[in-house]
């Protein structure tokens, strides 16, 4: 019997998608879902939708739930981390304070001031989860979905002997988007991808043996196509490869597009294409709408969706349980996988999965210009992980100093003032060592 623990299951839509995928995947016929969240009301929603899914699929699965993880995670085979620490209380601070200093964020939850402070709130809780898992489920394979992805994985692998893989949907989504721009079937578009999360790159792009980058550069001349992804097309045209994160979110990773109002106006578009404050302005309503949708499915007024989605978790479980090899893209320690990125960091590469678990594959060297962008962020990741593991406030400040967008906008003194203001404003949700 397979046991799957979902930590942060109160994010009921995400828990729903993972459980649905498991329940419709061949080879995962029986088991237990252990759902954990500190919000009892949202946990109850996740519990009810789990029961609804099990009944609808007829699979031999059971579900248990608790606000105290140590009551339910013992013996877990797969632990899935989806926690959000004090996000609702700080989403405005993570956007508003940096914006006051000129740092214009669209999403702001994986990098930049918002992402760094989200990490400082989240990673202490993540380390506690790993310690409990080491004690109660030492054989568990840990899958992380929590952002900031690279920071969460890096801190985890430095602190714990557990096998940890970070999972994102950006590469599979990008494959589908680029295939659409090219007018070819997504499953027939071949590529290699490597880098770091949200800064991985599609390389060796071909269709039926034909190189596709000439055709993609030609497609970018069509305004109807260019306007669907302006910033990613700009990066491809000038740096030679298509990046795997959306235009809006990716724009925060580089110093080129958000450092002046005229550039924001020229290159960004509404919503996920770069809208200023898009995440902060909409997340509270998105969360309410998601919970309402779950309630409707529980009540039977909305239809259950029972088709497997793009997330990798169920595919990993099936590959391990049935020893059926599959390939996923995972965030894993860089043990010589990408030769020109730091070897003590976390990278995103293709991984083989079978009964032996996650087996990352060798990529080699990235083109130098792409590696340089990734290296800059891996330095930020290293400093944040150091801050958490050594309880070193100054290392966290240095991380913000090196953030490419922040450095493009602010002086060192302004970055120090921003850092101190965010730390003071969010003090109730940060570790004690972050206080002045």
How would you class 413 by CB atoms within 10 Å of its CB: exposed for 0-12, middle for 13-18, buried for 19 or more?
exposed
Q: Quick check: 436 pLDDT over 90? A: no
pLDDT of residue 428: 98
Interval 248-291: pLDDT, tens: 999 999 999 999 999 999 999 999 999 999 999 999 999 999 99
CA angle in degrees (0–180, nearest 5) for 430-90-245: 105
Radius of gyration of the chain (CA): 21
Q: What is the pLDDT of residue 422?
A: 98
Contact 63, 18 (CB under 8 A): no
pLDDT at residue 84, as a whole number: 94
Structure tokens at 61: 């699965």
Mean pLDDT of 54-69: 98
pLDDT band at 11 (very low <50, low <70, confident <90, very high): confident
Question: pLDDT tens digit string along 326-380?
Answer: 999 999 999 999 999 999 999 999 999 999 999 999 999 999 999 999 999 999 9
The pLDDT of residue 13: 83
pLDDT in the model for residue 34: 98
Tell me the C-alpha distance between 199 and 374, whole Å. Answer: 6
For residue 298, name the pLDDT band (cuts at 50, 70, 90).
very high
Q: Is 169 considered catalytic here?
A: yes
pLDDT in the model for residue 229 = 98
pLDDT band, residue 100 (cuts 50/70/90): very high
Which pLDDT does position 426 carry in this prediction?
98
Max Cα–Cα distance, the chain, nearest Å: 61
Percent of the chain with pLDDT strictly greater than 90: 99
Quick one: residue 37, left, alpha or beta (phi over 0 = left, psi -120 to 50 = alpha)? beta
**Residue 205, burial from CB neighbour count under 10 angstroms (0-12, 13-18, 19+):** buried
Residue-averaged pLDDT of the chain: 97
Residues 6+ apart with CB under 8 A from 43: 9, 10, 35, 36, 37, 65, 66, 67
Query: How confident is the model over 200-242, as pLDDT tens digits?
Result: 999 999 999 999 999 999 999 999 999 999 999 999 999 999 9
Can you give the pLDDT at residue 42?
A: 95
Mean pLDDT of 287-310: 95
State the catalytic residue, choosing from 169, 238, 377, 381: 169
Range name among 3-12, 195-204, 263-272 with the lowest pLDDT average:
3-12
Can you say whether residue 100 is alpha, beta or left, with left for phi > 0 and alpha for psi between -120 and 50 degrees? alpha
User: What structural domains and CATH numbers belong to the chain?
Assistant: 2-90+108-166+301-305 (3.40.50.720), 91-107+167-276+311-436 (3.90.110.10)
């Amino acid at each position: 019997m397979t046991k799957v623990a979902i930590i942060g299951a109160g994010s009921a839509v995400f828990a729903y998608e993972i459980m649905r995928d498991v329940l419709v995947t061949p080879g995962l016929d029986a088991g237990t879902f252990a759902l954990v969240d500190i919000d009892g009301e949202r946990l109850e929603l996740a519990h009810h939708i789990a029961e609804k899914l099990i009944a609808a699929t007829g699979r031999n699965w059971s579900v248990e739930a608790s606000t105290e993880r140590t009551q339910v995670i013992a013996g877990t085979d797969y632990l899935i981390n989806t926690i959000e620490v004090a996000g609702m209380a700080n989403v405005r601070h993570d956007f508003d304070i940096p914006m006051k200093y000129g740092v214009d964020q669209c999403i702001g939850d994986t990098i930049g001031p918002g992402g760094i402070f989200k990490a400082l709130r989240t990673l202490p809780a993540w380390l506690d989860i790993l310690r409990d898992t080491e004690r109660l489920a030492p054989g568990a394979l840990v899958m992380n979905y929590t952002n900031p992805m690279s920071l969460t994985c890096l801190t985890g692998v430095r602190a714990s002997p557990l096998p940890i893989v970070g999972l994102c949907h950006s590469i599979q989504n990008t494959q589908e988007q680029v295939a659409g721009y090219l007018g070819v079937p997504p499953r027939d578009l071949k590529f290699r991808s490597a880098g770091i999360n949200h800064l991985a790159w599609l390389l060796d792009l071909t269709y039926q043996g034909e190189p596709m980058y000439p055709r993609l550069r030609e497609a970018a001349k069509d305004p109807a196509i260019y306007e669907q992804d302006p910033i990613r097309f700009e990066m491809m045209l000038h740096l030679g490869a298509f990046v795997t994160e959306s235009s809006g979110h990716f724009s925060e990773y580089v110093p080129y597009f958000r450092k002046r109002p005229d550039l924001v106006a020229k290159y960004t578009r509404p919503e996920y294409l770069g809208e200023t404050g898009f995440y902060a302005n909409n997340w509270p309503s998105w969360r309410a709408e998601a919970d309402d949708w779950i309630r409707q499915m529980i009540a039977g007024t909305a239809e259950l969706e029972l088709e497997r989605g793009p997330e990798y978790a169920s595919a990993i479980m099936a590959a391990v349980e049935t020893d059926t090899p599959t390939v996923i893209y995972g965030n894993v320690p860089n043990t010589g996988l990408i030769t020109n990125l730091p070897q003590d960091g976390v990278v995103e590469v293709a991984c083989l999965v079978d009964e032996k678990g996650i087996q990352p594959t060798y990529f080699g060297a990235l083109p130098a210009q792409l590696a340089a962008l990734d290296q800059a962020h891996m330095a930020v990741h290293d400093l944040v992980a150091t801050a958490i593991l050594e309880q070193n406030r100054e290392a966290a400040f240095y991380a913000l100093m090196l953030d490419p967008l922040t450095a493009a906008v602010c002086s060192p003194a302004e970055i120090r003032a921003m850092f101190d203001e965010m730390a003071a404003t969010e003090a109730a949700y940060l570790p004690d060592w972050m206080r002045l």
